């Protein structure tokens, strides 16, 4: 199948990847755009993993005040160079993540930030909810892990949350896409969310 410029353009608009990357992905998938998107996402994960150890000493501190001034967010997102930090797309990422925090009120950036005692307390709550269940212990452990995975971490950890602008992405996957696009490591360092009266 021949890959048209229109197909490449469409894939580029949907993924933000370079022309040659899009063309190659379309060739590998015989022009199937959905499979090509998946292929590019998988490559993005590998690229992000390679860049994860690189120093992020630049970036931006962003602020967002929700309409009416009842909720405000301050965030620090780091990248490797001020060249990327000054781009409109990086600044949009900072705004989007601020809006995410304002809307969803996460407590931590990543799972590793959650204190072990908080995780243990959540496990106790899950166990208490299933106290009347007659399931074997190994099944209960799997159910608790599932509840932590899909419920607890997806609520309290920013990187595990579903992106409010695209329910096919988590914030973690959004970062991977941006790392792939910019060719630099990007790290959400910290944030604070303020709500009137709290």
Give the pLDDT mean for 69-85. Answer: 92
pLDDT at 11: 75
CA distances from 101 to 65, 67, 109 (A): 11, 14, 10
pLDDT category at 163 given cuts 50, 70, 90 is very high
Answer for the pair 98, 62: CB distance below 8 angstroms, yes or no: yes
- Which residues make Cβ contacts (< 8 Å) with residue 158, sequence separation at least 6? 97, 100, 101, 106, 108, 109, 110, 171, 188, 191
pLDDT category at 45 given cuts 50, 70, 90 is low
Task: Out of 12-21, 81-90, 110-119, pick the least confident.
Answer: 12-21
Q: How far apart are alpha carbons 94 and 75 in whole angstroms?
A: 8
Q: Is 192 helix (H, G, I), strand (E, B) or coil?
A: strand
Half-sphere exposure (CA, 13 Å, Cβ side) for 193? 18
Q: What is the pTM of this model?
A: 0.70
pLDDT category at 52 given cuts 50, 70, 90 is low
Give the pLDDT mean for 66-82. Answer: 91
């Amino acid at each position: 199948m021949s890959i048209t410029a229109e197909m490449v353009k469409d894939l580029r608009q949907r993924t933000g990847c370079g022309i040659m990357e899009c063309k190659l992905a379309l060739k590998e998938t015989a022009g199937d755009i959905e499979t090509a998107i998946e292929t590019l996402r998988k490559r993005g994960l590998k690229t992000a993993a390679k860049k994860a150890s690189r120093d992020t000493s630049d970036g931006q501190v962003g602020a967002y005040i929700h309409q009416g001034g009842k909720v405000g967010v301050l965030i620090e997102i780091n990248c490797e160079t001020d060249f990327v930090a000054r781009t409109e797309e990086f600044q949009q990422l900072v705004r989007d993540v601020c809006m995410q925090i304002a809307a969803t009120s996460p407590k931590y950036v990543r799972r590793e930030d959650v204190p072990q005692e908080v995780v243990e307390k959540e496990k106790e709550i899950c166990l208490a909810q299933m106290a009347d269940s007659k399931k074997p212990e190994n099944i209960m452990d799997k159910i608790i892990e599932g509840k932590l995975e899909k419920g607890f971490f997806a609520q309290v950890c920013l990187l595990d949350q579903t992106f409010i602008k695209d329910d096919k992405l988590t914030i973690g996957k959004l970062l991977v896409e941006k790392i792939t696009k910019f060719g630099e490591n990007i790290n959400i360092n910290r944030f604070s969310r303020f709500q009137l009266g709290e």
